[in-house]
Amino acid sequence: MSLKSYTFEGAAYRHELLMELIEDLGGWTISKKILAQECTITFTIPERDSSLIRDLILQLQAAYRESPLLGTEIATVSPTIARHHLPHVLCDVGEFVRRMGAKNNMIGLGRGVGQRICQITTRETKLIEEHDAAIIVLGNFKHCILNYKSKLISDLTIPYVVTGGPELTQDELDSLGIKYYIPGIGRLPFRFTLLSQIDKLDEIIQALIGCIGERRSLIDSDPLLISPFAIKDEIERQLPEYDEIASPAPIVPKLRGVRVKVPYSQFKDKLGEIMLGDYKLKELARLKPSIWKEYTLIDILTHSEAKHLKIM
């Protein structure tokens, strides 16, 4: 079933009608925020029912927009985020990704600056690999990107988009194994405000959508046993401590699972016992600790994996 994701923005008055329709259509409400009289809802529904949602939102005199990256977790990676190195463009990229629906995490490498000392640790690589895709924001010098910074991405297995200042030929990109490269975005001492600069951010999003689309195609060829959105809903219902989680976005849906912002060592048993129909969560997914604050990562099994393990 093809899904479509949207962000609703309108008055809080009668927003329950939208939430009821989403549930009736078999969709999922990802988040709901009410501030004064304004309401923002992110949700996903079957694509064939998009016209019903549009008609209701028009009746409510509200606005909505597509959120093509909803349900993904993206890493925005910089060689460093120290104050004297920080490119302001990194903030713009991260914010633009967030507006497209993704959960964005900004990551600064411990020793990513310079040429001689430029490196990435195994721990940093594993942290980036926990995400669905990554945006690697590099600098302005062509020889630096070609000869030194390429080692930062050589071990990544997740899809990624690279940005940098100089133009690179296709042969140069092929030699580095880079499929998606956006030039004209390097270390810049200003924020993006011009339309031409915003267009560059759009290019990043389109490249990112291409990355995510490839991963979704692989998942469609061997579907997951259950939707990450369904797991998110059941954890919210069945985990008593959910309301006590102070972290923003306590449960982050991903392409192949969810990130739950609770300590793995304390909650692995409780999470594993959560019921999803006739099965326990630990029977349908793998639970493992994250490198980031020992949060809990839940990776859903595919149909082929379940058949191999003789689960279903």
**pLDDT digit string (tens) for 55-112?**
999 999 999 999 999 999 999 999 888 766 555 688 889 999 999 999 999 998 988 8
Asked if the model's pLDDT at residue 310 lies above 70, the reply is: no
Assess contact for 274 and 300: CB atoms under 8 A: no
Token digits of residue 99: 């507006």
pLDDT at 190: 78
Q: Quick one: what percent of the chain has pLDDT higher than 90?
A: 71
3-state secondary structure of 305: helix
The fold of the 73-219 domain, in CATH, is Rossmann fold (3.40.50)
Starting at the edge strand that comes first in sequence, how are the strands of the sheet with 63-66 ordered? 28-35, 38-46, 3-11, 63-66
Strand order in the sheet with 285-289: 251-253, 257-263, 295-300, 285-289
Instruction: Tell me what pLDDT residue 251 has.
Output: 95
pLDDT digits (tens, 9 = 90+) for 219-233: 989 999 999 999 999
Mean pLDDT of 116-144: 93
So what's the pLDDT on residue 51? 94
User: What DSSP assignment string belongs to 140-159?
Assistant: S-HHHHHHTGGGGTTT--S-
Q: What CA–CA distance (Å, rounded) separates 307 from 309? A: 5
- Please tell me the distance from the alpha carbon of residue 183 to that of residue 187, in angstroms, as a whole number: 12
Q: How far apart are CA 181 and CA 21, in angstroms?
A: 40
Helix%, strand%, coil% for the chain, nearest 5: 40, 25, 35
CATH number of 3-66, picked from 3.40.50.150, 1.10.540.10, 1.10.443.10, 3.30.70.260: 3.30.70.260
Question: What backbone torsions phi and psi does residue 39 show, to the nearest 5 degrees?
Answer: -130, 135
- Residue 96 corresponds to which amino acid? F
How many CB atoms are located within 10 Å of the residue 265 CB? 10
pLDDT digits (tens, 9 = 90+) for 251-303: 999 999 999 999 999 999 999 999 998 999 999 999 999 998 889 999 999 99
Rounded-to-integer distance, Cα 242 and Cα 195, Å:
42
* Mean model confidence pLDDT for the chain: 91
